Structure 1
Amino acid sequence: MQKPLVLPPQGAVAMRIRNATNNSGERLSQTKSMIIPDLDTPQKPLNRHRRNQSQHNAGQSLQVHVNLEGEYLNKAKILEGGKKQRKNWTLTWVVLSSSELHFYKESKQEAVANLKPGCKPDGVDLCGAFIEWTSDKSSRKNVFQITTKSGDEFLLQSDDYGTIKKWHDAIKKAVDRWSSGDTRPGGGKASLVRSNSSECLQRRAGDSTKVKGKESKPENRRSLMFKLNYSASDSADKNGVKNRLKKFISRRPSMKTLQEKGLIKDCVFGCHMLTLCQREGTTVPKFVRMCVEEVEKRGLEADGIYRVSGNLSTIQKLRFIVDQEEELNLGDSQWEDIHVITGALKLFFRELPEPLFPFRFFDSFVEAIKIKEQKQKIQALKKLVHQLPKPNHNTMKLLFHHLQRVLTKSRQNLMSSQGVSIVFGPTLLWPELDGGNMAVNMVYQNQIVEFMLIECVEIFGPEGK
């Protein structure tokens, strides 16, 4: 039968404490229940009442000397399980007891009284925790950080340095006690392990080494082979998925087939100018012509025409109807705002895969606008315009004559040639590659549109021809 663990006589206890004090200053908090007795010395049976009293004293000695009723501190949780949290400072009643730090919304007495059955206050396990002062986690003064082994991080702060220093030292002492254990006179570590209400000490420092040896045991051959087989089968599954996808894509009908069956319809917005005109059998897209006619019918005198933006959701609704090739009446009440129609027209030109001024002509138009002599500049631009594809030329001619009519009502709509060019410059032409200076390109874009707008008749000829 195993002998019960008992303590030596009072005199021997006192002698051991004095010896421990002389050897190390860390033994000041040693209590009777934490002393390992000499196994060869005959022991007297311990009175149960005295054993309970000893355990009670041991529990008190493990508690750091802080007022157990707690104190109000500012608390913020910045990390939970390694995941960043929003930093919100709250005034919290903090209580330190043995290895845990408890947080209450009010003082402990009120919190315990108002606590619902089965609920526990927020707490921090100090075992394996790390504590340090910090100044980069908060702009407040007197802040220290607690990092737990579970990946949580807390900040505690108080404007009174004396108060926060007291809590920092007390929590650090508790962390050090529970993280490293108490040092014995023999030089080993006596790590405390709790089991319900009893406490036991590991008597040999080598025990912890043996436990760590088991934890760091390398993977056996069987588990390694399992991983290799799993990775091989996983690779095979991926190859199988790839092969099935390739077969599916190869069997998929072509875009032309889907269009012939009517499953996919070509959109108006985002369609190439030449393709759209060929499909519609015209040289000017029908939607462009409809918008121009509607603006000239009721919008030439509208304040800020083409400069003021229309409602974006209504513009997108109009775009959807046009793309679905549904019957469209721009005189309908839902398109009453003329700025919705002008916004849709500008969106059409911006959505073109190649602008109204084709990419290959961009540099030529820039060089032409740099010519200082007026007549030579007009002739250079006129020559370039007549070299454009017919859908681009005819659409450009229709648009510029329309914008010139907008300028004839400049007193009513408050639009000038410069204002119109600022709107339509980046809308009608842009370089294929943004390798140059964007600001310089924008200046040339606006100059080209403004000059062609002013000299519209000279460059494009009369509107009817």
Structure 2
Amino acid sequence: SLLGSSPTSGFSARSLDKNRVKSRLKKFITRRPSLKTLQEKGLIKDQIFGSHLHTVCERENSTVPRFVKQCIEAVEKRGLDVDGIYRVSGNLATIQKLRFIVNQGNCSISPRVFPEEKLNLDDSQWEDIHVVTGALKMFFRELPEPLFPYSFFQRFVEAISKIETIKSLVQKLPPPNRDTMKILFGHLTKASKNLMSTQSLGIVFGPTLLRAEDEMGNMAIHMVYQNQIAELMLSEYNTIFGSEEA
């Protein structure tokens, strides 16, 4: 043609540009360090939500996660007289915001604007106590292994009506599981004296705190046991935890 280029040359140049952009993007994406790499380099510490209980406790040098204690304190301060305190759901977007802030406080790759140590659950943005209870339930739900470890699930099921056996099983648990359990159930017994029965608390917390490793098994039967064991831990709290030092 007069311009010295064929009608397709513009098209092929555009394709070339597209391919260049694609390959640059691909390089950028593959060069971006993964979360695991960032964690290994110490740029991102393990987060609070979704980490193993023992990992959180080791890092905080305690046997009960700080966030669990903070939630329990907030609920006992201003939530025990709220009807259906653990049954009613808080606003999910606000719960997710709280979760994000707690995890950000543990992340040194971003400015520590919200260090978890300074998290104030009395702040007006967490005014709805159901947001705090929702975040506490979410923390336990997101544990990679539940509060009642997988290896203990069957043993608790078999000991369902033997309080002394349950007490000795609790004493055999790793300290973070045992101490967190003691504080959580101690708190829930206070909630049960108010406006939630031990039965309804068992229904709410059973599946969150106990589950079989292979959940494809007898799910319906497991659910009955989950609720019953959680209920039993509440109704027999003093017998099970009474003589223990946490």
**TM-score, structure 1 as length reference:** 0.43
The one-letter code sitting in structure 2 at the alignment partner of 1:305 is I
* Matches of 2:129 and 2:167, distance apart in 1: 32
Correspondence for 2:130? 339
Q: Are 2:227 and 1:429 equivalent residues in the alignment?
A: no
Q: Are 2:226 and 1:445 equivalent residues in the alignment?
A: yes
Change (3 A) 1:252 1:286: closer
Q: How does 1:349-360 map to 2 (within 5 A)?
A: 349-360=140-151
CA displacement at 1:341 relative to structure 2: 0.2
* Matches of 1:283 and 1:290, distance apart in 2: 14
Q: Structure 1 vs Structure 2: percent identity of aligned residues?
A: 64
| 1:243-291 CA-partner distances (Å, limit 9, x unpaired) | x99xx79x97893x63364432321100000111111111000000000
* Matches of 1:347 and 1:443, distance apart in 2: 21
Correspondence for 1:416? 197
Of 316, 339, 342, 2:96 maps to 316
* Matches of 1:339 and 1:430, distance apart in 2: 24
Any idea what SS the aligned residue of 2:159 has? Answer: helix
User: Contact 1:285 / 1:395 at 8 angstroms: preserved in 2?
Assistant: yes
Q: How does 1:228-247 map to 2 (within 5 A)?
A: none
Q: How does 1:357-368 map to 2 (within 5 A)?
A: 357-368=148-159
* Matches of 1:335 and 1:437, distance apart in 2: 38
Q: Are 2:67 and 1:287 equivalent residues in the alignment?
A: yes
The one-letter code sitting in structure 1 at the alignment partner of 2:78 is R
Correspondence for 1:265? 45
Count of aligned pairs between the two proteins: 209
The one-letter code sitting in structure 1 at the alignment partner of 2:215 is D
Correspondence for 1:389? 174
Change (3 A) 1:344 1:254: closer
User: Contact 1:265 / 1:324 at 8 angstroms: preserved in 2?
Assistant: no
* Matches of 2:71 and 2:123, distance apart in 1: 13
Q: How does 1:43-82 map to 2 (within 5 A)?
A: none
- Dislocated runs of 4+, deviation >4 Å: 251-254, 462-465
* Matches of 1:428 and 1:398, distance apart in 2: 14
CA displacement at 1:464 relative to structure 2: 6.3
The one-letter code sitting in structure 2 at the alignment partner of 1:342 is T
Any idea what SS the aligned residue of 1:355 has? Answer: coil
Unpaired runs of at least 5, structure 2: 1-22, 106-113
Any idea what SS the aligned residue of 1:322 has? Answer: helix
* Matches of 1:289 and 1:322, distance apart in 2: 13
The one-letter code sitting in structure 1 at the alignment partner of 2:74 is E
User: Contact 1:401 / 1:463 at 8 angstroms: preserved in 2?
Assistant: no
Q: Are 2:244 and 1:459 equivalent residues in the alignment?
A: no
Of 377, 402, 425, 2:187 maps to 402
CA displacement at 1:460 relative to structure 2: 1.0
| 1:220-255 CA-partner distances (Å, limit 9, x unpaired) | xxxxxxxxxxxxxxxxxxxxx9xx99xx79x97893
Q: How does 1:195-274 map to 2 (within 5 A)?
A: 255=36, 258-259=38-39, 261-274=41-54
* Matches of 1:316 and 1:421, distance apart in 2: 24
| 1:373-400 CA-partner distances (Å, limit 9, x unpaired) | xxxx111101111111110000000001
**TM-score, structure 2 as length reference:** 0.79
The one-letter code sitting in structure 2 at the alignment partner of 1:306 is Y
* Matches of 2:222 and 2:244, distance apart in 1: 29
Higher relative contact order (CA 8 A, sep 6+): 2
Larger strand percent: 1
Correspondence for 1:378? 163
